[in-house]
């Protein structure tokens, strides 16, 4: 029988390394998808996954009882992403409101996702996502790539439901404008925007889910 996350964590705390390896293996895919469209290279994404798992291991005894383990891992991942941007961009990018920035401003226009895209619509989607504020990009990617609804995203990010629903709505609006700015082919834009989740799932199938 598959053990719950917290059961694995308890065993991990007790010194059972296999329990820790299984727990972290469950979240490798999620972490990869969080990082893939927010960094410059596939190697950067892999390094951030490793850094997150190491930080998760180091702080596992400080997790509050009853907290969501998935939310715990995600919070650590976002902190690692913040550190990543700080290292790459000194000056202004050291500000704490990094979620208000656009990834396209912080990094190169391309991303590991772009290298996975096989259709023009897929490429348009990942480029457009990188051109909207990170807080919107994150919410919309969790919705499109992970299939989470607003309530689930709110629980994952520790935000009010209303805040997440607003972010998703605004993310879609900004994404639409970004797609139309990136392509002047009306048919291509329509094809991209009418099947966002479909294109996202095609890309998801090509993202590594394990070390």
pLDDT digits (tens, 9 = 90+) for 61-92: 777 666 688 898 999 999 999 888 888 765 45
Whole-angstrom Cα distance, residue 102 to residue 98? 9
CB count in 10 Å sphere of residue 110: 15
Question: In DSSP terms, which residues pair with 133 in a beta bridge?
Answer: 102
Q: What is the pLDDT of residue 42?
A: 87
- Any residues with CB less than 8 A from the CB of 40 and at least 6 apart, and which? 107, 108, 110, 111
Whole-angstrom Cα distance, residue 108 to residue 12? 38
Do 22 and 8 touch, CB atoms closer than 8 A? yes
Whole-angstrom Cα distance, residue 38 to residue 60? 25
The helix/strand/coil state of 99 is helix
CB count in 10 Å sphere of residue 138: 25
Whole-angstrom Cα distance, residue 136 to residue 154? 13
For residue 141 the two structure tokens come to: 């990617």
Could you state, in order of their start, the residue ranges of all structural domains in the chain?
Answer: 5-204
Which residues in the chain land under pLDDT 50? 91, 93
Closest CA to 38 of 174, 115, 134: 134
The CA radius of gyration of the chain, in Å to the nearest whole number, is 17
CB count in 10 Å sphere of residue 133: 19
């Amino acid at each position: 029988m598959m053990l719950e996350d917290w059961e694995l964590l308890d065993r991990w705390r007790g010194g059972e390394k296999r329990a820790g390896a299984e727990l972290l293996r469950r979240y490798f895919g999620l972490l990869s998808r969080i990082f893939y469209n927010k960094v410059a290279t596939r190697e950067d994404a892999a390094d951030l996954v490793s850094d997150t798992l190491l930080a998760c291991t180091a702080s596992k005894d400080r997790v509050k009882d009853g907290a969501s383990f998935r939310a715990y891992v995600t919070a650590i991942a976002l902190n690692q992403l913040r550190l990543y941007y700080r290292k790459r961009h000194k000056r202004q990018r050291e500000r704490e409101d990094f979620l208000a920035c656009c990834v396209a401003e912080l990094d190169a226009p391309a991303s590991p996702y772009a290298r996975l895209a096989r259709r023009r619509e897929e490429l348009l989607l990942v480029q457009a996502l990188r051109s909207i504020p990170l807080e919107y990009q994150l919410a919309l990617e969790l919705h499109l790539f992970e299939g989470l609804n607003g309530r689930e995203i709110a629980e994952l990010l520790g935000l009010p439901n209303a805040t997440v629903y607003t972010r998703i709505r605004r993310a879609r609006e900004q994404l639409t404008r970004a797609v139309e700015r990136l392509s002047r082919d009306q048919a291509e834009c329509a094809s991209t925007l009418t099947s966002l989740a479909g294109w996202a799932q095609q890309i998801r199938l090509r993202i590594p889910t394990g070390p």
